Amino acid sequence: MLSKSFTFLNQPKKRILSVILALIGTVTPCVGLHKFYLSQPLWGVVYLLLSWQSPIARIACAIDAVLYLTQDQNFFNFRFNPSSTLETENILKNPQHLTEIATALRELEKLRQEGLISEYEFEQKRRQLLA
């Protein structure tokens, strides 16, 4: 019975719900709910303890909300949904695909070192290859 009541902890976390819970923490006394939702109960307790004496926890909730809004879904999944990283692991198991990516990254690095592409262009292409 108890294990069934905690099955929601194993389900994939949603970024928008995390943002909403963080925003709720900025305007209500329910500070740190988003940390409990994201399976970080220690941080949730820290936020609750800080909220009794100062506005630091509310400010931290607002910062967390902005961070969750601005990060892309892949990074959010990497941090908070370990089951979604299985797709990445399957890609890495294919050695030919991994070799192709490594070769392309080396070529990009050469272009960047020679000054043919900017640091910004290098970073964008690198992210495309790794996505």
Taking the model in full, what pTM does it have?
0.59
Per-residue pLDDT of the chain (131 residues; tens, 9 = 90+): 455 555 666 778 889 999 999 999 999 888 999 999 998 899 999 999 988 888 999 999 999 999 999 988 888 888 888 765 555 555 556 667 778 888 888 888 888 898 888 888 888 888 887 76
Asked whether the beta carbons of 60 and 47 are under 8 A apart, the reply is: yes
> Residue 65: enclosing H or E segment and its boundaries?
helix 56-70
Strand intervals (E) in the chain: none
d(CA 45, CA 51): 10
- Are 38 and 18 in contact, with CB atoms under 8 Å apart? yes
In the prediction, which pLDDT does 5 show? 54
Dist CA 109 CA 13 (whole Å): 35
Burial pattern 18-37, b for ≥16 Cβ within 10 A else e, equals: bbbbbbbbbeeeebbbbbbb
- Containing 70, the helix (H) or strand (E) segment is helix 56-70
Greatest CA separation for the chain: 63
The DSSP letter of residue 12 is P
pLDDT at site 22: 92
> What SS3 class is residue 3?
helix
